[in-house]
Structure 1
Amino acid sequence: MSSPKESRSQASTAVSVENTSEVDESTKPDFIYGGPFIKVEKPNPFIDTATPINLQLQGTFKKSFAYYSLRERMPVILTKVIDYLSREGNKIKTKHGATDEDVRSLIQYINKLKNDLITNKKYDPLTVDTPEARNWNKWIEETDSQCYFLNTWVFTECYVYRRLREGCELTNGLQNFDPFDEQKERSFQNSLEPMCVVAEKLTTMLQNGDKDKRKADFVTLLKICLWANKCDLSLSMGEQVSLKSDVLNNDANKTTTPCMGTIDPFQMILDLKDKVLVDESSKIYDRVIAKAEVMAKAISAEPEVQSVSSEKGSPTASPPVEEETKEGEELPKIPCPSKMTTPDAVMFDIVCDNAGYELFSDLCLAHFLIAQEIVQKVRFHVKKIPWFVSDVTPNDFKYVIESCRTADYKKEMALEIQPEAPEGEAPENARSVLNADTLRQLGEAWTKFLEDGTFVVMCDDFWTSPHVYKDMKKYDPNLYRKLQFAVAVLFKGDLNYRKLLGERNCNPTLGFEAALQGFMPAPLIALRTVKADLICGLPKGKFEQLNKFDEKWMEKGDYGVIQFCPKSEALKPSDRPCAEYGAECRGVVCAQH
């Protein structure tokens, strides 16, 4: 297996994207026909500049992170998948019941994908025959530029990961293969220590306390979630990422981070206080509490069971249920979801980013919201397929909870000697043992939350589409409507942030609400450590100040933002059919409701 340094070198020197292939001199017209001929200068789409303001990010701007990512990072990520298949082929075949031919054909497929990427070829259409793949082919045809570097960065990145998935789908034995499972599992195991630290402290946060303590705990957990977003295996090209605050030492030349070491995530919040460029966490708490209380009152005011003779056409009226019932027993009747204007529970949504420690932190926040009776249900939106190396899939969600439930970790830790201790005498608890007992208890609780519906895992296709969020209503109106039932929607990480901003390099001082370009299904929260060169909501002059200090500050994840848009579109009865119950809306006479 080649080292990361060798892989990166191979990817960056393989072929120049401006010159898409190495040409044999003997095949040139000058050689064959005895030239020389008049040279015709072709326009070069690549510009030696950063992404201009108000343009979308794409690989044509050679001083942009998009160009670097497509030229350097993504080829290395694909090379590491090839290395994994070569190195662990026997283990992978045994686990999935695959053959040598399956592994061989997938390696060949990924090799071609990587070569097409670094030589800036046109996108190939997907060949698997599914509705989702046909949609992809339609979107490719509709794009203005169908080459890897010439289209928007987000479209190309999403396309590469979708093609990587197709490579698995086209084999007989690797259709359920996750090319990043080994990296994600190692990342989880390397994070056990900070998870145990957070788990111990969380138990005190789950208990009833006064309003001030509850608000302080919410803000703390929100910041735990923010800095957990540093654990992004896509940014690090699969290398294990550190949470140590000493890596954030303002070294402009630092490009890699060491493996996870001893750390107190709560101390990290204090150490990195000045690294949070926008912090609206206090406002978020106040608005979430207020919205949750209003929603709870609206739900309690709704009749528990609507009669069949309810006013015709009412959005809360329930239709007859065409199912067999025992004599004297009446099945509950509920309104059609497409006609509901009040949710059936107070819900908070989290659009997840990375698995491992970051998902663990999201689960801690969700548990707090449930335990403090702020909301009744938390919905987690995850990716249906392996995505951007470490993004959460349904399998990752189960793995993290089960691994917490069965965690085995123990470490003796020295405590700081208190100054009031008598000279020469150590306090009784000079040493303490950090273990996974509390972590296992959380895993048990989260398992029950999944079983009883308190935690809900959702994986709509839209999250693995190339579309930015201002276009969600156009491409997936049903998902947009689902989000409207939430008290608030928390978007985690850099990819979600880019899609929230429409992949547009807006003016850094533009407000978060304006940057959303009309995407307001519910109050929106964005937690993101900065790993791409676009941002909004900064105080005047801050962007220029940071650029003078370090031109690459937006690419490292050293800084973070906690931003909030309280506005939301009113939830009205839908004029579209209910996605879960057929192609035709039958209103109050729907047999399913």
Structure 2
Amino acid sequence: MMAADHSVPPSLSASVEGSFAYLTIRDRLPTILTKVIDTIHRNKNKFFEEYGEEGINAEKQTIGLLSKLRNELQTDKPVLELTDSLQDAESWNQYLQRQQRLQGDQESVSWFKSPWLYVECYMYRRIQEALWLNPPISDFDVFNEAKTQSFYASQQAVMALCTYLEDVRKNMEKLSKNLLLEHFNTLLQVSLWGNRCDLSISAGQDNAQKTSPIESLNSLQPFILVNDSSMVWSTLNSPQEPGESGTKTADRVDIVLDNAGFELVTDLVLADFLVSSGLARQIHFHGKSFPWFVSDVTVNDLQWTIQQTMGANHKWVSKCGFQWRNYLKEGVWHYHEHPFWTQPHEFCDMAADAPELYATLQQAALVLFKGDLNYRKLTGDRDWDHTVGFSTALRGFGPAPLCSLRTLKANIQVGLQPGLGEKLTSQDPTWMTSGKYAVIQSFCQKSE
């Protein structure tokens, strides 16, 4: 394994006083909780129809726990240990103890005085706890309505993208390497900009893609601050093992997913292209094991999206849906869950805290990390100087060659040319949080 950088890193980037686009964190988290409470209450009749009085009681008790959580968040109460029996509860409680040791014994770890990455993740885990403690509604996805609305609002963009993929597929055998590269760059950037459709940043407000993603790419080029797509292309076209000099196909590409809705469709289209073009033999998707950060992908979201595309009244969208279902059935595509993805750990902790997941990622020729939260965890959500190298900010994390596809929605960005961060700040103070800018940022030294 690559030696970790044990030099003292910069401090965690901020407490919950920090701000993102649309709403400050202190406003955004209670707003999300209020919407969750409202969603559960609006489904009261559904719970009664399915479960009778037991469903009504579960609804009341869940709302009671979530209202208590909202009060804790707004009044800087101590962060509490989890009390449910889910498999990750002990790990979460150990992480709280770790935070307490770092802070010292003078006062309890609390909402306003803790790193915002931790308390954001903790809030979503407490939502899951409130549901889990109240069967029979334990499996209710409080964010499903927002995710499905976002998908439906993006139908024109989905049709344009699936039509583009079909045109590429038709001519795949005739494509020169230069044309193949052109299509690769197009779909990589479509997947990149699909990351703007993030419902946790907009606190669940409509944030769908409503125009053709292909037509807008040229105008978006100036807003890609780091573009390592050529490095990603070289990784996919490199021999995978010594002695396999003739091999030009990556055995496996892993995609650590971010948002459901349109972004997931862009990821599925990119994955389809990688397989159908021969750039990869297998795609392994990694998603969340329960609803997370409003719009993050769960296995139910993946299955639902494929079902929706299969049933679409559009020839090429439907064809894509059936192809994607077949990829999963035939083992060309795989979907994985792991509790590490819904914990607050920095990814440099993965080898120690989730060694089996780290070993899984080591099998990939390339790992694509989608989105802002994954970038925050890759870099430790720390207050790095903008010119610090991506490899330094990873602090030893490198199970395989990796690439972050991210639109900027948090106050952290590394790997910029000297002076660029300052220039952007003077021109647009919200450049790190608005989703207007993006990076395709790679690190290709693989750990042993």
Report the TM-score, using the length of structure 2 for normalisation.
Answer: 0.91
CA deviation string 1:110-148 (max 9, x = no partner): 101111011111111111124411221121122134211
Aligned position for 2:264: 359
Aligned position for 1:271: 219
SS at match of 1:457: strand
Taking the aligned partners of 2:266 and 2:38, their CA distance within structure 1 comes to 31
Q: 2:274 aligns with which of 369, 376, 384?
A: 369
Taking the aligned partners of 1:108 and 1:85, their CA distance within structure 2 comes to 11
| Residue 299 (structure 1) shift | 12
Aligned position for 1:521: 399
Aligned position for 1:165: 128
Aligned position for 1:71: 26
Aligned position for 1:111: 67
Q: 1:184 aligns with which of 147, 157, 171?
A: 147
SS at match of 1:174: coil
Confirm or deny that 1:221 pairs with 2:168.
Answer: no
Taking the aligned partners of 1:522 and 1:381, their CA distance within structure 2 comes to 15
CA 1:517–1:87 in structure 2 vs 1: closer, same or farther (change >3 Å)? same
Q: How does 1:74-473 map to 2 (within 5 A)?
A: 74-94=29-49, 99-143=55-99, 144-145=102-103, 146-206=109-169, 207-208=172-173, 209-243=175-209, 261=210, 263-292=211-240, 294=241, 297=244, 346-408=251-313, 436-473=314-351
Figure out how many residues of one structure are paired with residues of the other and give that number: 426
Taking the aligned partners of 2:51 and 2:281, their CA distance within structure 1 comes to 38
Taking the aligned partners of 1:529 and 1:195, their CA distance within structure 2 comes to 19
Identity rate of aligned residues, in percent?
Answer: 37
CA deviation string 1:515-557 (max 9, x = no partner): 1111010001000000000001111111111111121221111
Taking the aligned partners of 1:94 and 1:353, their CA distance within structure 2 comes to 33
Taking the aligned partners of 1:517 and 1:406, their CA distance within structure 2 comes to 45
User: Which structure has the greater CA radius of gyration?
Assistant: 1
Amino acid at match of 1:128: D
SS at match of 1:267: coil
SS at match of 2:237: helix
* Structural RMSD (CA): 2.0
> Structure 1: which 5+ residue stretches go unaligned?
1-52, 244-260, 301-344, 409-435, 571-593
> Structure 2: which 5+ residue stretches go unaligned?
1-8, 104-108
Amino acid at match of 1:123: V
CA deviation string 1:189-217 (max 9, x = no partner): 11111000010011122322111111111
Amino acid at match of 2:57: E
Taking the aligned partners of 1:235 and 1:466, their CA distance within structure 2 comes to 17
Amino acid at match of 2:312: A
Report the TM-score, using the length of structure 1 for normalisation.
Answer: 0.69
Aligned position for 1:537: 415
CA deviation string 1:90-115 (max 9, x = no partner): 13544677611111111111101111
Aligned position for 1:578: none
Confirm or deny that 1:554 pairs with 2:436.
Answer: no
- Check conservation: 1:489, 1:525, Cα contact below 8 A: yes
Amino acid at match of 1:518: G
| Residue 514 (structure 1) shift | 1.5
Higher helix share: 2
Amino acid at match of 1:394: V
Taking the aligned partners of 1:291 and 1:114, their CA distance within structure 2 comes to 52
- Check conservation: 1:199, 1:438, Cα contact below 8 A: yes
Amino acid at match of 1:450: L
Structure number with the bigger relative contact order (C-alpha 8 A, sep ≥ 6) is 2
